[in-house]
Chains A and B, each alone.
Chain A
Amino acid sequence: DGGITQSPKYLFRKEGQNVTLSCEQNLNHDAMYWYRQDPGQGLRLIYYSQIVNDFQKGDIAEGYSVSREKKESFPLTVTSAQKNPTAFYLCASSTGVGPYGYTFGSGTRLTVV
């Protein structure tokens, strides 16, 4: 079955550490996105990529980095520069253009300990 796989489901990070969240899709989608969701809040765009080897900052990119070396993969690194990283992180993909919406992964909950 086609879909988006995010791993791990839960992640704990010590202060000052970088952590990488994995996102893999087998939908042959061109575009991929990372969102952050805080309790009771909406979806805030961190980074997005519409083509391999290219990505754009979203609304809250500070303290995060991404890469897009393969069409299927769009990992997100939460760096130590992100002051408040505890949140629910969602990866999504789409065809890139056209009225087809997004397919979301099941999310990674990151907690700083």
Chain B
Amino acid sequence: QQQVKQSPQSLIVQKGGISIINCAYENTAFDYFPWYQQFPGKGPALLIAIRPDVSEKKEGRFTISFNKSAKQFSLHIMDSQPGDSATYFCAASIDSWGKLQFGAGTQVVVTP
């Protein structure tokens, strides 16, 4: 049973456009929500993370929006660039537990 559901499975966006990836969770005990970026043949790398006491966090062109009541969070990539083409994973964990639950991943392709 997947505890974190991620959509879409893939998306194609033009250079300069906005990429949006959505995740939903059921376990209300989750209190840490990171996003990972993975390039082909490489390990995932932490991109940005948020705690549930914050509704939005922005780092450069990457923004996490968090809706605690809906149990949903999303990643927005503004002004998407070809170098952003990668697979993105959302995840969730409980502080006292530490083990991350990953979404299934979204492959993003940014066309020139």
Contact = CB atoms under 8 A, between A and B. Distances in A.
Interface in B41-100: 41-46, 49, 51, 89, 91, 93, 95-100
A84 B67 CA distance: 39
A111 interface: no
Contacts of B36: 104
Interface in A58-101: 88, 90, 92, 94-99, 101
A107 B42 contact: yes
B104 A50 contact: no
A101 B43 contact: no
Interface string A26-46: 000001010000001111010
A107 B87 CA distance: 15
A101 B32 contact: yes
Nearest to B45: A104
A45 B91 CA distance: 13
Contact of A99 (B45, B49, B99, B105): B49
Contact of B100 (A50, A88, A101, A107): A101
Given A41-B105, A42-B103, A42-B104, A104 B43 contact: yes
Contacts of A98: 95, 98
Contacts of B96: 97
Nearest to A35: B102
B98 A105 contact: no
Contacts, number: 63
Contacts of A45: 99
What's the interface size class on A, roughly?
20 to 34
Given A43-B102, A99-B51, A101-B46, 7 more contacts: A88-B41, A90-B44, A97-B96, A99-B93, A99-B95, A104-B43, A104-B45
23 contacts: A31-B98, A31-B99, A40-B107, A41-B104, A41-B105, A42-B89, A42-B102, A42-B103, A43-B89, A50-B98, A88-B41, A92-B43, A94-B98, A96-B98, A98-B95, A99-B32, A101-B32, A101-B100, A102-B46, A106-B42, A106-B43, A107-B43, A109-B41
